[in-house]
A and B are shown apart, each in its own frame.
Chain A
Amino acid sequence: DSGVTQTPKHLITATGQRVTLRCSPRSGDLSVYWYQQSLDQGLQFLIQYYNGEERAKGNILERFSAQQFPDLHSELNLSSLELGDSALYFCASSVGTSGRGVYEQYFGPGTRLTVT
């Protein structure tokens, strides 16, 4: 158990809908990262937050947004869902301070999103 929690575990929804994925980092970790992993694909970096502020952005679609709250939990919002958005979405956390680079990341169990 990495100490990172993600809810829900599974999500099935229709095209055009909007969903919110939730992540709670390990105690003491300030950075949260979101990744997308499609079937048999690698991990695509979406976005990183550090202590409530956006720190780095990857290949995140405009239909997707995220935020990190004062209690450090994070939410990833996916809207106008398309079939191609079906994937496993991982959240990871790390101690992470700016200027040091990327620390080791601890991944949550993931949320499997199926868009029908």
Chain B
Amino acid sequence: QQPVQSPQAVILREGEDAVINCSSSKALYSVHWYRQKHGEAPVFLMILLKGGEQKGHDKISASFNEKKQQSSLYLTASQLSYSGTYFCGTESTDKLIFGTGTRLQVFP
């Protein structure tokens, strides 16, 4: 029941926007977003909880549609530092199952 992310990869110029989607077949308690740069550990970005509570990054926003079991991560005015692989993690029964990943590359 691994969540599916789309697109698999995105290439952007600095300043452009991107949306990464995460979809699950299971009912979710929360959705988490992490970013992993090449050769590094994943870093926490954001949690979206059932009921609308949101915690996380001040330059990246996200939405969580509980009924559709979907989440989207919005990256606006992208910077070079946004490059990396983005993983969503869906939570049910105390486990966080990570999605397939979306590779984002931002060029000058």
B-contacting residues of A (Cβ < 8 Å)?
2, 33, 35, 42-45, 48, 55-56, 58, 90, 92, 98, 101-110
- Total contacting residues, chain B, CB less than 8 A: 24
| Most chain B CB within a 10 A radius of its CB, from A45, A48, A109 | A45
B96 interface residue per 8 A CB criterion: yes
Interface centre among B41, B98, B100 (most CB of A within 10 A): B41
| Besides the known contacts A43-B42, A103-B47, A107-B42, 14 further A-B residue pairs in the complex with CB atoms under 8 A apart | A43-B87, A45-B95, A45-B96, A45-B97, A48-B95, A55-B94, A58-B95, A101-B30, A102-B32, A104-B47, A105-B34, A105-B96, A107-B41, A109-B41
Report which B residues bind A (CB closer than 8 A).
2, 29-30, 32, 34, 40-44, 47, 55, 87, 89, 91, 93-101
Pair B55/A101 contact, Cβ less than 8 Å: no
